[in-house]
Amino acid sequence: MSALLIVDTKIHDPESYEEYKALAKPLAEKFGGVYRARGDRMDVIETQLWEPTRLVLIEFPTFEDAHAFLDSEEYAPVKALRHRYAESTAVVVQLS
């Protein structure tokens, strides 16, 4: 079953964050990731538990592929850039 990596990001340094975006996308694609949304227009309808800022949705062929990307040695320095330029929450959800 496929899985979605959902990342909500509050960017503090938009110019520098472009470096993260340029490096992360080809790596996600290397692990089978397909971007379904990347900070696109959204309507937040309810916020009782969470108020999203900027959502990125990446679909992976499997739950394991999503984790392989997130846990890869190649992504580690790129993830550090995301942490430097933004606050974020990431969740992997298996699709049924």
| Residue boundaries of the structural domains of the chain | 3-94
**CA pair distance 81, 96, nearest whole angstrom:** 32
Mean confidence (pLDDT) of the chain: 97
CA-to-CA dists, residue 84 to 16, 56, 61, 66, 77, angstroms: 9, 18, 29, 22, 11
What pLDDT does residue 40 have?
79
**3-94 sits in which CATH class?**
alpha beta
Rounded percentage of the chain residues whose pLDDT exceeds 70: 100
* DSSP assigned state of 27: H
Task: Tell me the pLDDT tens digit for each residue of 16-48.
Answer: 999 999 999 999 999 999 999 998 799 999 999
Spell out the residues 6+ positions from residue 6 whose beta carbon is closer than 8 angstroms to its own. Answer: 55, 56, 57, 90, 91, 92, 93
- Quick check: 58 pLDDT over 90? yes
**CA pair distance 70, 68, nearest whole angstrom:** 6
